[in-house]
Structure formats: C-alpha cells, structure tokens
A and B are shown apart, each in its own frame.
Chain A
Amino acid sequence: MIPEKRDDVICREEEFGAIIFDPSAGRMHKLNTEGHDIWNLCDGKTDVDTIAKKMAEKEGEDVEEAKSAVEAFLKDMEERNLIRWH
C-alpha cells in the first residue's frame, strides 16, 4: 500500500511541525514534527513499510513501533480525506 498526499493540500512548515490546509474543506490541521516527516514521505512512491523503516531510523526506534505510529497517522489522514492510496 502506497499513500499519496493530495496535491492540492498546502503545507506550511512550523517549528512544531507543520500546518496543512485542505482548501476544499477550508480546514487546517496541525502536524507535529513526526507527522510532518511522514506527510513528506507520502509521495505516491513510498510504501508504508519503507516509510516505517525511514521513521524508525530517524527516531531511533523499533520498526514495528514506528509502523504502528505511521499507520495510525495515515488512518487519521485518510479519515480527513487528505491522502489517497495506490
């Protein structure tokens, strides 16, 4: 499964992570730095396992632990209609 962020969603980087704005819903969402990193990896080419591995390396944590955090984040983004799956 490969997640891809919607290309019309706009991201503004912040010290705490980022704010993403969904123009069709007129809504903003705050991301922490970890969420922002996962968001940036949702490029339509990188699958969930690879995202989890990259996050585990970056955060210095176990891959399974990272995968569970990545899946929870992507589920939230999917529910907000901010990503698509390939």
Chain B
Amino acid sequence: MRFSGPTYAYVQVSRKCGGCTLECYAPPDGSSLSLKEAKLIADILWDAKVFIVLIDGGEPLLWDGITELVKHFRSKPMATAMVSSGEDISLAEELKKADLSMVQFPIEGPEEYHDKIRGEGSFQRSIEAIETFCDLGIDTHVGTVMSPSNLEYLEEISDIVSSYPVLIHRVIRYIHDTEYLNPEQCVDILTRITALREKGRAIAPTNCYTFAKQTPYVTQMNLDRFQGCVGGNTSAVITCDGYVVPCPHFASKKVAESIDAPRIWDIDLSTIWNTWDFIKEFRRGLQACQNCSDLSLCGGCRAAAYHVTGSFEYDPGCPVSGKVKE
C-alpha cells in the first residue's frame, strides 16, 4: 500500500536541550526554528493533508513559542503530540489550554541509571512531568530508549511506569553505530514485553523492531494494522533546518546533509515524497531483506542499518536477516 504523502510528521523545533549521555539522533548544536518558520511548516503540512504532527527536539518545552505553535497546529485542526524530557513543565497548563493532544516523557531506568544518562535530578523531573500532565488530563505516554546498558531494567521500569495513569509505555530501540541491541537482545526484550503485556501492562515496542512478527511478540500483534517501518511510508521528519528526512534517526544536520535531504521550503512536499531517490530506496527495504517473506511488512530498520553499515545493507538487530542474507 503506497501513500501519496506522509500522514503524520515529526517537526523538530530545535536541537537545544539539557543534554544527556546517550548519543542522540539529533545531537544538540543550538539550531532552532523561528516561530514563523515553524508556522510555515505547519501550513505546508496541513496543505498536504498531513493529519498528525509530533513536535520533537531538542527539548520542545525549552523552545520559545511552543504554546503558540501547538495552538497553530490545533487550529488546522491537526492532532498534536510532543516528545519531551520534561525539563521545564511551567507551561503545562498553557499547553492544556492550547489543546495539546498527547505528550511523551522518558524513563530510562531506575532513578540512579536515569540520572546517569539524563543528568542529576532528571528522573524526578520526568516523574513530576508525568504526574502533572496526567493530572491535567493530557494523554501521557512514557518512552524508554532500550540499549544494551539498560536491558536488565525493563521490568523495573515497567513497575515505575505502571504506577502512573499513562496510556502506553513505549520501548524504543537505541540506534547507534556500535552500542546497538543485537538479535538475541532484541528477541529477549520483545519476549519480556510480551510477558509484561500478558500481565496486563500497557507496554509496546515501537515500530523500529520491524521484525517483531518473527519473535514471541507476534501473539500481541494485530498484523492487519502493523506497518513495519513507517519512515518514508506514512511518516516524515522536518528538521529545524527545514530538511525533510524519512525517520528521526536522520534528523541531525550532518546526516541530513550527507543524504542530500531536500528542504521543505525549497521543494513541494509531494515532489520530495514521490521523486527523491533516497526516500524511494528507503521504502524498498534493506538489501538483506529482499528475499524475506516479510519484506512488505518489515524490510528491516533502515536507521539501524544506516548507522552501522553506512548503507541499507542489513539490520544488525534482526534475528532473521542473517539467515536470509546467507
């Protein structure tokens, strides 16, 4: 099924944040959209009938104009979500009034681990943000970036998350050139997520585990709805430099420029979507997946492949692509 354009888009308002020790897909470099540029992007997306927007960063809550931008998106009326690390929640009530649809905050592990990754006091700030936004009645999600170093904490993190009325706990895959989850670790994490769901926990892996069907998690999947990698298929990312890229893991200036990403204000979005060679190659799936029976459903995590191999060769976390490659 081919979409004529993205149905949802990430808008990276800045690459400014408090910093953390995880190597981020958008390393802080001080870049930022102006409110005028962000509103222009909103107008372009709405004209292209992009229905859902996810405001990303950097830290959106530290970006001047965030409330105004949420209001602008909602006036279209696009569903408007935000990914934040909860560094400053002084605008929470204003964001509620602006009708923010959803927000996601991180819990990377128990307090000591989380603070080691995201800075002293960040765990408590995240908890306060979760409590505040839940109390305001804004749909609140929690995200955990799962890497080899916090793999052991999954159940402990789930215990923490389940004590708050969050809608869903999303387990994100850490995309990195060396510290990635290997196939055994990916299967392990998906097996443990399955066990947590069987206990009634609202927890799910993100679509970056494109091969989930090949793991015990298949029992939890609605295969009629599962889309595999959504990058370049239903979603796009607009960086704070205006670059259009297929996935948040291509949203640093360096990576966007290395793939000759076009800018949203230079070329019509539909033209980018339908003619840019890189996005077309992205959609085709990884080289090692071309003979896999799940190619159309999965195709591997392009970002994981790109960051490890510098191309779309193979997904280093996939439990089956090695076999297919042989």
User: Residues of A at under 8 Å CB distance from B?
Assistant: 10, 12-16, 19, 21, 23, 26-28, 30
Report B's interface with A, CB cutoff 8 A: 1-4, 7, 49, 51-52, 77-79, 101-102
A27 / chain B contacts, CB cutoff of 8 Å: 79
Give A30 to B52 CA distance when docked, in angstroms: 14
Contact A19 B1 (CB under 8 A): no
| Contact indicator B51/A28 (Cβ below 8 Å) | yes
Whether B7 contacts A19 by the Cβ 8 Å rule is: yes
Which of chain B's residues have a CB closer than 8 A to the CB of A21?
49, 51
Point out which of A16, A23, A26, A27 has the most chain B C-beta atoms below 10 A from its C-beta: A26
Closest residue to B4 on the A side, CB-wise? A14
In the assembled complex, how far is the CB of residue B190 from the closest CB belonging to chain A, in whole angstroms? 26
Assembly CA distance A26 to B52 (angstroms): 7
* Chain B nearest CB, measured from A65 CB (Å): 23
Is A15 within 8 A of B2, CB to CB?
A: yes
Q: How far is the CB of B226 from chain A (nearest CB, A)?
A: 13
Checking A12, A16, A30 against B49 with a beta-carbon cut-off of 8 angstroms, the contacting residue is A12
C-alpha spacing A56/B129, complex, angstroms:
55
| Cα–Cα distance between A12 and B46 once the two chains are bound (Å) | 11
Query: Shortest beta-carbon distance, B84 to chain A, in Å?
Result: 18
- B4–A15 touching, CB < 8 Å: yes
Alpha-carbon distance between A27 and B78 when the two chains are bound, in angstroms:
10
Checking A10, A14, A23, A26 against B3 with a beta-carbon cut-off of 8 angstroms, the contacting residue is: A14
Shortest C-beta distance, A32 to chain B (Å), equals 10
Which A-chain residue is minimally distant from B78 (CB atoms)?
A23
Q: Please, which residues of chain A bring their CB within 8 A of the CB of B79?
A: 23, 26-27
Closest A-chain residue to B5, C-beta based?
Answer: A12
Q: What chain B residues lie within 8 Å of A19 (beta carbons)?
A: 3, 7, 51
Asked, given contacts A19-B7, A23-B79, whether A28 binds B52 with beta carbons under 8 Å apart, the answer is: yes
Nearest to B225 among chain A residues (CB) is A30
Does the CB pair B77–A16 fall under 8 Å? no
Q: How far is the CA of A10 from the CA of B79 in the complex (A)?
A: 12
A27→B7 CA distance, assembly (Å): 11
For B4, the chain A residues whose CB sits under 8 A away are 12-15
- Closest Cβ neighbor of B51 among chain A residues: A21
Q: A18 to chain B: closest CB distance in Å?
A: 10
Task: Determine how close the nearest CB of chain A comes to the CB of B141; give it in whole angstroms.
Answer: 13
Contact of B2 among A10, A12, A16, A28 (CB under 8 A): A16
A11 to chain B, nearest CB (A): 9
Q: Which chain A residues border B51 with CB–CB below 8 Å?
A: 10, 12, 19, 21, 23, 28
Collect the chain A residues with CB atoms within 8 Å of residue B3's CB: 14, 19
Q: In the complex, what distance in Å separates the CA atom of A13 from the CA atom of B1?
A: 13
12 contacts between A and B (CB under 8 A): A10-B51, A13-B4, A14-B3, A14-B4, A15-B2, A16-B1, A16-B2, A19-B7, A19-B51, A23-B77, A28-B51, A28-B52
Distance of A50 from chain B, by nearest CB (Å): 29
Q: How far in angstroms is the closest Cβ of chain A from B227?
A: 10
Chain B residues positioned under 8 Å from A13 (CB to CB): 4
Taking A15-B4, A21-B51, A28-B51 as given, write out 7 further A-B residue pairs in contact, using a Cβ cutoff of 8 Å, ordered by the A residue number.
A12-B51, A13-B4, A14-B4, A19-B3, A26-B101, A27-B79, A28-B7
